């Protein structure tokens, strides 16, 4: 397995991967994606810059049957690739993965307005979201 920043040649595979995991259409025009591949894409994470130096994790998706190692490598690669303050609204079951990388709980009302606006426009699929902040 290798993890790399998604390039233009990965777009159709990435779009298909994301849409098959979360349903609906995805707009790949915004943000930066890191992908894990073993031939096919087996995981991805996307970062969206909502303000200068302020980023939001949008998708952290791993193919069925893959272990948490893929998700950990994706989070680590994304954090190494981007500077600034990173926010995440993730399913509560993924909290341990992110706290391992220095994320701390955040009251969503304390998020900067660009982050809060992004979260309002892109609500998560789960009712049980954890809001976190790193760096």
* Beta carbons of 18 and 60 less than 8 angstroms apart: no
69-121: pLDDT as tens digits:
998 999 999 888 877 899 998 888 888 888 998 999 999 899 999 999 998 88
pTM (two decimals): 0.83
Residue 81: which CATH number?
3.40.630.30
Phi, psi for 31 (deg, rounded to 5): 90, 175
Residues 6+ apart with CB under 8 A from 54: 84, 85, 87, 112, 114, 115
pLDDT category at 135 given cuts 50, 70, 90 is low
State how many domains the chain has.
1
Task: Check if the beta carbon of residue 94 is closer than 8 Å to that of residue 60.
Answer: yes
111 close to 85: Cβ distance less than 8 angstroms:
no
Instruction: Please give the residue range of the domain that contains residue 94.
Output: 2-134
């Amino acid at each position: 397995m290798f993890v790399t920043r998604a390039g233009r040649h990965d777009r159709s595979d990435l779009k298909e991967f994301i849409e098959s995991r979360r349903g609906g259409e995805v707009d790949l025009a915004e943000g930066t994606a890191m992908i894990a591949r073993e031939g096919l894409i087996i995981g991805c994470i996307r970062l969206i810059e909502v303000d200068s130096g302020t980023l939001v994790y949008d998708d952290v998706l791993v193919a069925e049957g893959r272990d948490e190692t893929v998700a950990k490598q994706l989070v680590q690669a994304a954090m190494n690739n981007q500077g600034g303050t990173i926010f995440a609204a993730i399913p509560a079951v993924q909290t341990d993965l992110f706290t391992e990388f220095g994320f701390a709980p955040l009251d969503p009302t304390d998020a900067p307005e660009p982050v809060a606006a992004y979260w309002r426009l892109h609500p998560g699929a789960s009712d049980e979201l954890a809001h976190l902040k790193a760096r």
